[in-house]
Amino acid sequence: MKANWLIAAGISIVTLASFSDALQTEAQDQQFVTQAAEGGLLEVKLGELAVKSGTSAQVKDFGKAMIRDHTKVNDELKALAKKKNLNVPASLSPMKQQKYDSLASQTGTQFDMLYMNMMIASHEQTIGLFQTESTKGQDADVKKWADGKIPALKHHLEMAKKLFKSSPGAAGK
């Protein structure tokens, strides 16, 4: 009787450990999907704002590129998340909304400078997020997807840096 109880207890512990590992794996990939989706949504919304409020043609064009590229990536992420039963946020987090609001309050060359500065910081952060997922993520498909997006994110970063350096008021930066 005691042996049966010990066997049952041992099976329960192994089962719980496996379930815990599965939850941890799902939680890690879910966190990536949430952060990537929120970041992508912010990129699109800030791009729309740049098209509307930017003063230079280059900033407006960069905004259009962010809308186009990040809308495509966001749609891919939604499809992948659905396949993997992961949730995708439909709106900005309060912190991302605050970033949007801070840019929306700017005008003129201040808007252009802040937008490009935000694009540099955002893409640096996003590259780190995607690199981490591509090396430490648990789901092979999510890891592969993240890894495949890194070159385009790096290209966006270089474009943003180049545009920021050539912006009026960026002397010495």
Structural domain of 121: 32-166
* Total structural domains within the chain: 1
Q: Is residue 140 part of a domain?
A: yes
Q: Is residue 9 part of a domain?
A: no
> Which spans in the chain are helix H?
2-53, 57-83, 94-104, 108-136, 140-166
Phi and psi at 86, nearest 5°, equal: -110, 150
Q: Is residue 89 part of a domain?
A: yes
pLDDT tens track, the chain, 173 positions: 566 655 655 555 544 444 444 445 578 899 999 999 999 999 999 999 999 999 999 999 999 999 999 999 999 999 999 999 999 999 999 999 999 999 999 999 999 999 999 999 999 999 999 999 999 999 999 999 999 999 999 999 999 999 988 876 654 44
Task: Indicate which CATH number applies to the domain containing 71.
Answer: 1.20.1260.10
The secondary element (H helix, E strand) that includes residue 93 is none
Q: Is residue 68 part of a domain?
A: yes
Q: Is residue 171 part of a domain?
A: no
**Model's pTM, two decimal places?**
0.82
Beta strands in 65-171 (DSSP E): none
Q: Is residue 109 part of a domain?
A: yes
Q: Is residue 18 part of a domain?
A: no
Q: Is residue 23 part of a domain?
A: no
